[in-house]
Amino acid sequence: MRFILITLLCLCGLQAVEKPNVIFFAVDDMNDWIGPMGSKMAKTPNLDRLANMGVTFTNAHTAGVYCAPSRTAIFTGRNATTSGCYTDQVYFHNHPEYMPLQVAFKNGGYDTYGVGKLFHHPVGSIDPRGWTEYYLRTEDQKKNGWPVETWGYEAPLPAKVPASKFNQADKKWKGRPFMEVGAIPNEKEEEIVDTLRTNWACKIIKKKHDKPFFMALGLYAPHYPNYAPQRFFDMYPLESIKHGPWKEDDLDDIPEPEQKKKRARKAGIHDKLIKLGIVEETIQGYLAAISYADSNLGRVLNALENSPNKDNTIIVFWSDHGYAQGEKGNWGKHTMWQRTTNVPFIWAGPGITKGQKTAYTSSLIDMYPTLTDLCSITPDKDLDGESLKSILANPAKSPERTIFIPYTEPKSYTVVNEKWRYIKYKEGGEELYDLSKDFHEWNNLADNPEYKAIKEEMITHGPKEFALIGTSKKKLKLVFKGDSYEWVKK
């Protein structure tokens, strides 16, 4: 049928236009410590290579400040303020009418392949609709709600677990991998689950396809636990590691309710790391995990280069959010500050300028409308993002733009552009930072009357309405249906 269509178009004097393939490459918890974003913290030769192939957005931001809401926003094309999915809500239960990204591609004539952490990782988080194939490495996973289980099912682990002194010092530690860092023997690298998933994706990418394909690959790295092959730890000798810029009294000028929460968290993590003398070891593990993720990107780029699809494939690389490494005493995400919201965001492929950077303010929520625009397929209606197609074609002419990022509850959000960040908390507290002079957000200007007009202008870009919080996963139960499942109310 495809051959007949092409023949008819040629006979009519028209040229058949092949729709591009798409590689949708996700990582978890990767901040802006990478070469394409101007940092020398992490060694990322393959991200550098991808950046030379396309456009890097240096001022790109998450659509949610931790995994579940960010990924929900990406796949639905809707902010939490529209969907009500602020935390653990299951969008395909609460909003079955939404057409997620993979279904849009399926309806547009694509074969759709999924593997790894694309949605959140607990049981029942992956939207099972619209996939030609979703790779699960065990039969148990297929029958039990498609858990990601990166470090379960006999995946290789460090010789001693817990491997981190942070967790070894915790007498109540029960296997929670937060702040867990450790090396895995190099000879076990091919058994690590992110490697297995990448290799499976590479097999699909190398094939000659009768239809265009959408390949979505989600790595768990550099999410905790920061387990990676020893060779990546060796890239970062402890004596060479320096933490990023910290300001000891950095929490003093933020709103009181938030200050109280962050001081408690700082005491439990940041101060403990310093007391144990393992700040450098902890950062070493994070950097090793970034470089391990980068090496898997290299496998994908090599597979594409040696495939019949190399000239007609779009690649978009993204992290679901950033990750703090001690800034404001924070280790992790769940904040509306720069280190949490700023993310790696790199595009390459046909129609995309090569080797360019842009400071255009963009959001991961823009991926849905951009991909459907580039691939000439029909998106869902009423998406919240905007297509970046024109920016990708000519990044030098990018206009100014202001975006907002929802928090984990209604009436709390941040608004950001190239120069300013404004943060609003539902309790009434505010923060305002001049990013052109204060990239590290050390000086909160919200209470300074000199900046009243700036603050009021930023507020105009915030949400006008806030959707109510949707049905929590705690109020649902998972019903298994063969190799699939559905959520129903308890």
As annotated, the active-site residues are: 67, 120
Residues 59/350, Cβ–Cβ less than 8 Å: no
Distance from C-alpha of 11 to C-alpha of 284, rounded to nearest angstrom: 61
Q: How many other C-beta atoms lie within 10 A of the C-beta of residue 393?
A: 13
Neighbouring C-beta atoms of residue 12, cutoff 10 Å: 8
* Contact criterion met (CB below 8 Å) for 366 and 385: yes
**Selection from 398, 438, 392, 434 nearest residue 416 by Cα:** 434
H helix or E strand, kind and range, residue 76: helix 67-76
Q: Which two tokens stand for residue 112?
A: 């759709």
Distance in angstroms (rounded) separating the CA atoms of residues 299 and 145 = 29
Burial readout 175-212 (b: 16 or more C-beta within 10 A, e: otherwise): eebebbbbbbeeeebeebbbbbbbebbbebbeeeeeeb
CA 242 from centroid of its chain's CA atoms = 25
Residue at 73: amino acid letter: A
Burial level of 273, CB count in 10 A (0-12/13-18/19+)?
buried
Q: Map residue 357 onto helix, strand or coil.
A: strand
Helix (H, G, I), strand (E, B) or coil at 296: helix
Query: For 52, how many CA atoms within 13 A lie in the half-sphere containing its CB?
Result: 8
> CA 83, 102, 132, 92: dihedral to nearest 10 degrees?
0
Residue 152 CB contacts under 8 Å (≥ 6 apart), including other chains: none
